[in-house]
Structure 1
Amino acid sequence: MKNNRRNFIKESLTIGAGLVISGAGSYASILDANRHTGSDSGLNIKESAMRFGLVTYQWGKDWDLPTVISNCEKTGFQAVELRTQHAHGVETSLSAAQRAEVKRRFADSPVTCVGYGSNFEYHNPDQTILRQNIEQTKEYIKLCKDIGASGIKVKPNNLPAGVPREKTITQIADSLNEVGKFAADYGLIVRVEAHGPITQELPNMKAIFDQVIEPNVKICWNSNPVDLNPPGIEGNFNMVKQWIGDTVHVRELTANDYPYQKLFNLLAGIDYKGWILLEASSTPADRISAMKGQLAVFKDLAAKI
């Protein structure tokens, strides 16, 4: 049964139909439904293919789950990626009943639980530590399924000194293939954040994904300063665009140190229909007002595509 299900998911992704999420239909179908519920957003059909949400990285780190959902509702944010070890307390320690309650809260809200932002990484040369990261990833994949999330975010995070680059890249790819195969049995996406002092560089992400064979393992574009390194944002984007999944992390869209309009244009060029997730690190006095301001900038960028 599991193998048949995995083959179905692979075939669906291969033809671009999208990954089945939480039994609610194809990814494209979910996006269509979101367009209808968000029809007052001021965006036309093409622009509304990209949706705006929050990573609880800093702006939501001290909010419990009802507050996270409520504040997203107040500000017009349509989704949230729950970061690990934050005040919302959505962790594998939750009982089955508590997991069902988390799922119910999101089901009763217009806010989508996009996924879970873990810190699991696969570059460590210590095989015991590596195995711990892989097995814990699997436990959090089960959590994601139970709470109605569509995927989990992980990291490659480094290429350790003293270890041949090719060996670490193969280890990371092999690990992603293992957790990806496991996640496929739960209908989930593994989102690999372009992260880490070396692995955030897109040529290294490409080298990893050249060895990734599981089609539900995708890149989460992370809007890093190194994206602008030669050959520039367009060249780096094109290098990995075939693997970009359904989440993109951005910093404050009002910052002038990253070409967000160019990024939006590039995403539109690949018919991106995923989530733009705000991973803000500043400390505004009024986060609600700041979130509303960021949504306004998002709409403006989308309108200029």
Structure 2
Amino acid sequence: METHLSRRRFIQRSLLAGVGMSVMDPASLWAMMKKRGMRFGLVTYQWGKDWDLPTLIANCEKTGLLGVELRTQHAHGVETNLNAAQRAEVKKRFADSPVTCVGYGSNFEYHSPDPAKLRENIAQTKEYIKLCKDIGATGIKVKPNTLPAEVPREKTIAQIAASLDEVGKFAQDYGQLIRVEVHGPITAELTNMKAIFDQVTEPNVKICWNSNMQDLSAPGLEENFNMVKKWIGDTVHVRGFNIDNYPHQELFNLFAGINYNGWILLEASHEVPDRVAGMKEQLALFNKLKAGIGRK
């Protein structure tokens, strides 16, 4: 244990020395670092999908992306088939590093008109909520995904909201958030997300902003953001700050306006010759955007 603690203290001091605070007590440093507002992390999605867990954590340490959302069916192998000892080992790996296990990125969805499929998605969500607690995570990402054309819109929206309330209520007993990704060809429209959340009552069910181009649809980013901002949780997905025309600076300004104190998670899929170098590049762009908050 002493070896792990010494390593962690070394990493903490190394990371914080660059900001001129290394003379402080390590425990105080770590607490301060956890409260520094928007933090940058990684969704394993494409850039981390083939890294086992030790490699994933090591690469996050190297690059300064100190939070990670573990995506399902990836090489890190963190799934519900892990036994209690294996789950404890995952939790310990994160505890012995400066990297936070932000949560789990599932593909569970609640729009199916097939009752059996719906119940299976809800049941599996509950099993992964238990996994999240066991590995030290704080929430699970789910999706609304679509509104089937053959079903009245209002019926599906009510079904999704009721399902989110069910898994949200279950998650409260495990200290977990339900993070609803703004996702899908139809439900990425923020008017539809608002319609869903107008019916959600459980307080631990939150929106995971997904930086979709639909965010820019009329009446525009600011108005669309304001439409759902009261439900935004502690995770945001971004694609990469230099690959499209998404107005990231405007988005950061909007987040600053609601005192957002959560994770900005890189969900990158574009090809780069060196993903570790790419992560460092994205961190530099993230820091530039943070520094630019409020500037004209």
Which of 174, 179, 187 is 1:199 aligned to? Answer: 187
1:74 is matched with 62
1:244 is matched with 232
Structure 1's 107 and 231: CA in aligned 2 closer, same or farther, altered over 3 A? same
State how far apart, in whole Å, the 2-side matches of 1:227 and 1:42 are: 35
Which of 133, 137, 148 is 1:145 aligned to? Answer: 133
Structure 1's 189 and 91: CA in aligned 2 closer, same or farther, altered over 3 A? same
1:214 is matched with 202
- C-alpha displacement of 1:162: 1.1
The alignment partner of 2:265 has SS state of: strand
Which of 101, 104, 114 is 2:92 aligned to? Answer: 104
State how far apart, in whole Å, the 1-side matches of 2:193 and 2:20 are: 33
1:280 is matched with 268
Cα displacement string for residues 77-108 of structure 1 (whole angstroms, at most 9, x for unaligned residues): 11000000000000000010000000000000
Q: Does 1:159 align with 2:147?
A: yes
Asked if structure 2 preserves the Cα contact closer than 8 Å seen for 1:43 and 1:303, the reply is: no
State how far apart, in whole Å, the 2-side matches of 1:235 and 1:197 are: 20
Larger Rg: 2
One-letter identity of the residue aligned with 1:282 = H
Asked if structure 2 preserves the Cα contact closer than 8 Å seen for 1:222 and 1:250, the reply is: yes
Cα displacement string for residues 236-295 of structure 1 (whole angstroms, at most 9, x for unaligned residues): 000000000000000111124100000000000000000000000112110011000000
TM superposition score normalised by structure 1: 0.86
Cα displacement string for residues 140-159 of structure 1 (whole angstroms, at most 9, x for unaligned residues): 00000000000000000000
- C-alpha displacement of 1:36: 9.9
1:296 is matched with 284
1:65 is matched with 53
Cα displacement string for residues 151-176 of structure 1 (whole angstroms, at most 9, x for unaligned residues): 00000000001100000000000000
1:185 is matched with 173
The alignment partner of 1:80 has SS state of: strand
State how far apart, in whole Å, the 2-side matches of 1:168 and 1:104 are: 41
The alignment partner of 1:48 has SS state of: coil
1:120 is matched with 108
Taking CA–CA contacts closer than 8 Å with sequence separation of 6 or more, which of the two structures ends up with the larger relative contact order? 1
- Structure 2 unpaired stretches of 5+: 1-11, 22-31
- Structure 1 unpaired stretches of 5+: 1-34
State how far apart, in whole Å, the 2-side matches of 1:244 and 1:104 are: 29
Which of 15, 34, 41 is 1:53 aligned to? Answer: 41
State how far apart, in whole Å, the 1-side matches of 2:72 and 2:250 are: 30
Kindly report the root-mean-square deviation, in angstroms, between the aligned alpha carbons of the 2 structures: 1.9
State how far apart, in whole Å, the 2-side matches of 1:119 and 1:292 are: 28
One-letter identity of the residue aligned with 2:127 = E
What is the number of equivalent residue pairs in this alignment? 271
Asked if structure 2 preserves the Cα contact closer than 8 Å seen for 1:43 and 1:299, the reply is: no
Structure 1's 160 and 257: CA in aligned 2 closer, same or farther, altered over 3 A? same
2:3 is matched with none
The alignment partner of 1:247 has SS state of: strand
2:241 is matched with 253
State how far apart, in whole Å, the 2-side matches of 1:208 and 1:40 are: 45
